[in-house]
Structure 1
Amino acid sequence: MSQSATAPAEPINWHQIFLHIDADGDGLILKSELRYYILHRPISELPLSEALVDNLLARVDYDNDGYINLQEFYALVNVSQEPVVRNAIRRALVSAALSLTPRSQQAHVDRIYLQHYTCCPPPIAIPAFCIAQIGVFVYYAVGSEKSTTPYSPVPFDSPLIYDPMRRQEAWRFISYMLLHAGYVHLVSNCLMACIVGLPLETVHKWWRLTLLYMA
């Protein structure tokens, strides 16, 4: 692909995490239970000492009743500590919530993904892009006076290549993705497009993949 895009991480719904850990649904979690989850689910490389966890839980247990309510739970996940400590606590709580969540609920996202997975119509955008790139490469390789190497030819005089001095030729902002610096570049680009793009296209449809590919 011309550029790789990274989707932003989805924010954690801490209310849902609280509800999963609150097994009896009374709006309260035993402080000793949270202590156990944090100490016995070391998702982070940072080891949390018992003294540190006890101190943090005592700080957020405002009414000192031995239970953590939703407000105190929010205070715990946003505790004023070093980011590595806070992240270690958050990861432990998320891990605890997932372990207490029924498998049917954990598989909900997978079921949605599979429901949208279809090969009818088959993927057309990614194969079309790959065929177009191969065709353009063969055209310039055959017409070039220089021999084809793993990293050449590069058709600098092509009307498809991006030229900052010809920005008025708007098609160059898109057509440059059809050009490659040698067959190593071409093969790696097409392989990555097929490995990543084909599964995505079967779920998210061709037009979304086209927009992503051309971005």
Structure 2
Amino acid sequence: MDRSSLLQLIQEQLDPENTGFIGADTFTGLVHSHELPLDPAKLDMLVALAQSNERGQISSKRSSSFKRAIANGQRALPQDGLLDEPGLGVYKRFVRYVAYEILPREVDRHWYFYRHRSCPPPVFMASVTLAQIIVFLCYGARLNKWVLQTYHPEYMKSPLVYHPGHRARAWRFLTYMFMHVGLEQLGFNALLQLMIGVPLEMVHGLLRISLLYLAGVLAGSLTVSITDMRAPVVGGSGGVYALCSAHLANVVMNWAGMRCPYKLLRMVLALVCMSSEVGRAVWLRFSPPLPASGPQPSFMAHLAGAVVGVSMGLTILRSYEERLRDQCGWWVVLLAYGTFLLFAIFWNIFAYDLLGAHIPPPP
């Protein structure tokens, strides 16, 4: 029997319908019944990857990992986890740290660690943070004010700030994320974006994390326009809280599998810091320390971002390296978010006039 006939026979036995898939059980049986030139740890990893597919099939999503495993069959994977692998450089140690910070399953950590490439870098969170710092420095130098900038009469005249009197300028519902109350708010947001947002982007990619961040920012301003109709909004807290709450919810949901050190202490500290920031925002909104010409920025963007993170963000983080479009929960969350957007748009068009809301005059 020639080679082509043999291959055709194997295909007819393993994939008679020519779908391009084979069952996970079939794959597992082949792995254990044939002597492949792979070490036992890597065989276990391949089997675990096969069994992790909800359809019970070997899909093409991780086909590159299988090819790489076959091509590098002599390279052993640690039996007890990546933490036991010696001789790593600084960057690979950082990649390993990110894997243990973000991913709850050892098989996903292995796959991420060995397939990770430094290009493209996590540019979204770094670019957003850099832009926020540049904008803050420009306004700080222009206003000669670095704390409580919203009390300066020229601050609210910025075309970036969301103000209820400028609702028709739709870009403000997003661009307010580049403006901040002061150095303390910018520092808090920038620190969390770099410490949590960058590792999340390294693992889950630019598209997913940018979608989550911008969804939190947009939900923040729209929620303020509904619940606190007279207040403006500044700061990227909606997006930051979406990232943080999604990550914390993922840690809680996969508590036993997470291997990040001092996870309980770190979670408590994160919750304390986030709660303190919300408390500070509430204080500035209702008990401003200085006389102001109008209402101070609302704190509702923080809470809206947290809700987006727990709902949409948790769905994204739990679907590591799986197509979101194949996840039923993703469509439910997307439908709910789309419904909220439509409601908020109609609210901003009609509700202010129907309710006779007395909003402060735009600067």
Output the TM-score relative to the length of structure 2. 0.28
Q: Considering Cα pairs closer than 8 Å and 6+ residues apart, tell me whether 1 or 2 has the greater RCO.
A: 1
Structure whose CA Rg is larger: 1
Q: Greater helix percent: which structure? A: 2
Output the TM-score relative to the length of structure 1. 0.46
